[in-house]
Amino acid sequence: MIGLLMVTSIILAAIFAVQISGHDPDYIDPINSRLNPEWGHLMGTDQLGRDMFSRVLYGARQSIYIGVVASLLANLLGTFLGAVAGYLGGKFDTIVMRLSELVMTFPQLILVLIFVSLLGQGVNNVIFVFAVTGWMTTFRLVRGEFFSLREEAFVEADRAFGFSKPRIIFLHLLPNTISPIVVAFTVNIAIYIIAEAGLSFLGLGVPITTPTWGNLLAAAQSPVVVNEYWWLWVFPALAIVVFVLGVNFIGDGLRDVLDPRQKSITTKHSFKKALFGRFVRES
């Protein structure tokens, strides 16, 4: 619940950024540069006199957009590949599995850096890179679920009816695996928002002209800013921390509701037994 509150309040603030901040995030006002946080400029102003509060709010739009869309794409890709590979097995499964191992072997940040250097910078490129480098966890999750599901009686019945493979995979099997996918989706949002921040902090993510939380933090590359103008990097970072925490809380909550089997590692066995008794599926 706290998580929901944290996330919705930030999202609402981002949507109504214009009404709330009362400043144009790109309005340059050199006379009022580097103001301390005060009434009127709740989070102070940056080197060019732009209002930090409205920049953080507008940054929220970009950062959340990147996190959500990248997570959505990565999960779609992972789910699709996992579903097909898990149901068909065989050669396709082996190839995709090797591919996922290949991508996982790489340290993600280096992989992302290589991709960014190839594709150039930009919001959509960053999203693409995150999707390409982040589909493996969902893939493995869905593939595992499908492996155990495809032996179930209702799937056999489907096959006996002569349903086409796509129909069995996407209409009959996929709905049964949707809850772990949803949980993975929320957790990935948090991961990508932090990744975007890191990438932009290095100056390799979204072009500096677009305010994102990472780009705002990049101001702290200069020692003077770290030392004297703390509000320039503390507030964007706090926004990230609050949002990511909120998303994680939601993810935990969703997991408890949707997937009681995974409630927690420590109570797994007893909880499983208590809920499903002897109907627990052996995995």
Partner 1 sequence: MAFAISALIFFASRLSPIDPINALISPDAASDPANLELLRQELGLNDHIVIQYFNWLKELAQGNFGYSIQSGQAISEILALRMPATLELVLSALVLSTILALTIGLFAGANRGGLADKASRILAVIGIAVPDFFIGLAFLNVFAYNLGWLPTGQRLSPGQVTFMDRFPHLILPVATLTVAMLAVLIRYTRNSVLDTLNKDFVKTARSKGVPEWKVLFSHVFRNSLGPVMVILAFRLPLLVGGSILVETVFQWPGIGSTVVAAVSASDYPVIMVISMIVAMVILVASFLVDIVKSILDPRVRLGGGAS
Q: Which residues contact partner 1 by CB under 8 A?
A: 98, 101-102, 105-107, 109-111, 113-114, 116-118, 190, 194, 197-198, 201-204, 217, 220-221, 223, 226-227, 230, 233, 237, 240-241, 244-245, 248, 265-266
In angstroms, give the least distance from the CB of 107 to partner 1.
Answer: 5
CB 173, CB 249: distance < 8 Å = no
In angstroms, give the least distance from the CB of 47 to partner 1.
Answer: 17
Task: Check residue 206 and report its DSSP letter.
Answer: S
Q: In the structure encoding, which two tokens stand for residue 63, read together? A: 């950062």
Residue closer to partner 1 (CB basis): 4 or 114: 114
In angstroms, give the least distance from the CB of 231 to partner 1.
Answer: 11
Residue closer to partner 1 (CB basis): 40 or 203: 203
Residue closer to partner 1 (CB basis): 2 or 28: 2
Phi and psi at residue 28, to the nearest 5°: -95, 130
In angstroms, give the least distance from the CB of 3 to partner 1.
Answer: 11
C-alpha dihedral sign at 196, 202, 207, 209:
positive
Distance CA 70, CA 33 (A): 35
Task: Check residue 263 and report its DSSP letter.
Answer: S
Q: What is the rounded (10 degree) CA torsion for 148, 150, 153, 156? A: -160
In angstroms, give the least distance from the CB of 103 to partner 1.
Answer: 9
Residue closer to partner 1 (CB basis): 98 or 159: 98
Nearest to 128, CA basis, from 112, 117, 141, 140: 112
Indicate the helix (H) or strand (E) that contains 151. Answer: none
Residue closer to partner 1 (CB basis): 164 or 266: 266
